[in-house]
Structure 1
Amino acid sequence: MTRAPDILCIGSVLWDVIGRANLHMTVGSDVPGRITRIPGGVALNIAMTLARFGLRPALLSSVGRDSQGDELLAECRALGLDTDHVYLSEDLPTDRYMAIEGVNGLIAAIADAHSLEAAGKKILRPLIDGPLGTADAPYPGAVALDGNLTESLLSEIADAPAFAAADLRIAPASPGKALRLMPFLRAGRGTLYVNLEEAGLLCQQTFADAPEAAAALLARGASRAIVTHGGETCADGTSEGVIRACPPKVLVTRITGAGDTFMAAHIAAERAGKDRPSALSHALKAAAAYVSGDMPS
Structure 2
Amino acid sequence: MTRPDILCIGSVLWDIIGRSPTAMRLGSDVPGRISRLPGGVAMNIAMTLRRFGLTPALLSAVGRDAEGDELIAACARMGMDTAHLYRSDDLPTDRYMAIEGANGLIAAVADAHSLEAAGDKILRALGDGRLGSDDAPWPGMIALDGNLTEALLSVIAASPLFAAADLRVAPASPGKAERLLPLLSHPRATLYVNLEEAGILCKTRFAGADEAAEGLIARGAPRVLVTDGGRICAEGRQGAGVISDAPPPVLVTRVTGAGDTFMAAHIVAERRGLAREAALAAALRAAADYVSGEIGT
- The verdict on a shared fold, with TM-score over 0.5 as the criterion, is yes
Distance across 2 between alignment mates of 1:229 and 1:204: 17
Distance across 2 between alignment mates of 1:130 and 1:205: 43
Q: Would you say 1:234 and 2:241 are equivalent positions?
A: no
Amino acid at match of 2:232: T
Distance across 1 between alignment mates of 2:132 and 2:185: 25
Distance across 2 between alignment mates of 1:198 and 1:227: 9
Distance across 1 between alignment mates of 2:98 and 2:154: 28
> For residue 249 of structure 2, what is the aligned residue in structure 1?
249
- Residues 160-208 of structure 1 deviation map (CA, whole Å, 9 limit, x = unaligned): 1000000000000100000001001144440000000000000011101
> For residue 25 of structure 1, what is the aligned residue in structure 2?
24
8 Å CA contact 2:165, 2:188 repeated in 1:
no
> For residue 61 of structure 1, what is the aligned residue in structure 2?
60
Distance across 1 between alignment mates of 2:177 and 2:34: 28
8 Å CA contact 1:158, 1:189 repeated in 2:
no
TM-score normalised by the chain length of structure 2: 0.99
Matches within 5 A, 1:185-224: 185-224=184-223
Per the TM alignment, residue 211 of structure 1 is displaced from its structure 2 partner at its CA by: 0.5
> For residue 263 of structure 2, what is the aligned residue in structure 1?
263
> For residue 97 of structure 2, what is the aligned residue in structure 1?
98
> For residue 13 of structure 2, what is the aligned residue in structure 1?
14
Per the TM alignment, residue 130 of structure 1 is displaced from its structure 2 partner at its CA by: 2.0
Distance across 2 between alignment mates of 1:213 and 1:46: 23
Unmatched tracts of structure 2, length 5 or more: none
> For residue 169 of structure 1, what is the aligned residue in structure 2?
168
Per the TM alignment, residue 257 of structure 1 is displaced from its structure 2 partner at its CA by: 0.3
Matches within 5 A, 1:116-135: 116-135=115-134
Distance across 2 between alignment mates of 1:288 and 1:242: 22
TM-score normalised by the chain length of structure 1: 0.99
Per the TM alignment, residue 135 of structure 1 is displaced from its structure 2 partner at its CA by: 1.1
Residue identity (%): 70
SS in 1 for 2:269: helix
> For residue 291 of structure 1, what is the aligned residue in structure 2?
291
Amino acid at match of 1:289: D
Distance across 1 between alignment mates of 2:219 and 2:122: 30
> For residue 276 of structure 1, what is the aligned residue in structure 2?
276
Amino acid at match of 2:66: S
Distance across 2 between alignment mates of 1:22 and 1:172: 28
SS in 2 for 1:207: coil
Amino acid at match of 2:224: A
